[in-house]
Amino acid sequence: MVNTKFKFIDLFAGIGGFHLALHRAGLECVMACEIDKYARKTYEANYNKISPKIFSKNLFFEDIVNVDSSNVPSFDVLCAGFPCQPFSQAGQKKGFGDENRGNMFFEIMRIVSKKKPKVLFLENVRHLIKHDDGKTFQLIQEYINYEGYDFAWKLIKASDHGLPQHRPRVYMICFRKDLGISNFEFPKSRELEITMDDIFNGNCNKKIGFTLRVGGKSSGLHDRRNWDTYLVNDQVVKLKKEEGLKMMGFEEDFVFPVSETQAMKQLGNSVAVNTVYDISIKILKILEDHKIIKRAKR
């Protein structure tokens, strides 16, 4: 365990997949931002216990556009699963042409330019890589390089880090160049911790489950668009939030003060906690090796 005393901010926080993973790794959240009113309820209900200061000191912001960079506390790691709809199939792949969501990347860079954190930890859908023939992804990398950061990325499935869900996502790790850290190597894959048999506590027709979606109707067991219906013990079963939590790597005591529909939407919009945790541990190890953080005294 390292004594990081490292702080992070959680932008486009959703229900706090980044928050939970980095907290497990020993980092402290000093600010969060989430615009969806239902996700905000879920976020506060679960993180007020472990990060009370961001709520008591009014550091749980709503709209990132209205966040004055000078009011952002000092921090070391910027986490952001920035809006993926402009780059996904669900968002018609509008990219930066989506005025309401596509420009949110530049709001991230506005804060980066002012605060210059040590590490950027970003996540998005796999379609980002090939959007607009790769021009969008290239532009993102160029902006990050211009601000003085190296850029490493990898397409990773949730199932690569212990969770029974495909969920391919692109993860971007960017160290500030003056730290002397380049050629970041992502953590190696690890075996599944659980399968869909464990998720449903029965005999499931799939070992690894479908990628949870942000929303949409269930289309039936044999429909090619099916994402939440399984055959368990020869019975058709529809996925519920309790199973979704396990598939995403959240704690069993995680609470949803919202409807089932909202809970499933929030899970589908989250990051895979195990993946973020494993990458966080690798980041900390590299920072330790470069003597930027020190190992805790036993």
Q: Which residue has the tokens 């039936």?
A: 220
DSSP conformation class of 33: E
- Spell out, as residue ranges, where the chain has pLDDT lower than 50: 1, 86-98, 101-102, 298
Options 29, 84, 174, 204, the catalytic residue: 84
What pLDDT score does 217 carry? 74
DSSP conformation class of 235: E
Q: 178-190 pLDDT, tens per residue?
A: 999 988 999 999 9
The closest alpha carbon to 167, from 270, 14, 242, belongs to: 270
Per the DSSP assignment, residues forming a β-bridge with 229 are 238
**What are the two backbone dihedrals, phi and then psi, of residue 89, each rounded to the nearest 5 degrees?**
-65, -35
What pLDDT score does 82 carry? 87
Known active-site residue 29 = no
Q: 241-256 pLDDT, tens per residue?
A: 999 999 999 999 999 9
- Strands laid side by side in the 77-80 sheet: 60-61, 28-33, 7-11, 77-80, 119-125, 169-175, 152-156
Residue 232, classed as helix, strand or coil, is: strand
**Pairwise CA distance, residues 256 & 45, whole Å:** 8
Question: What residue type is 111 in one-letter code?
Answer: I
What pLDDT score does 83 carry? 80
Q: At the top level of CATH, which class does the domain 2-190+271-295 belong to? A: alpha beta
pTM: 0.92
CB 272 within 8 A of CB 167: yes
End-to-end CA distance of the chain: 9
What pLDDT score does 296 carry? 54
What pLDDT score does 93 carry? 41
Name the residue ranges covered by the structural domains of the chain: 2-190+271-295, 196-265
Per the DSSP assignment, residues forming a β-bridge with 231 are 236
CB 32 within 8 A of CB 10: yes
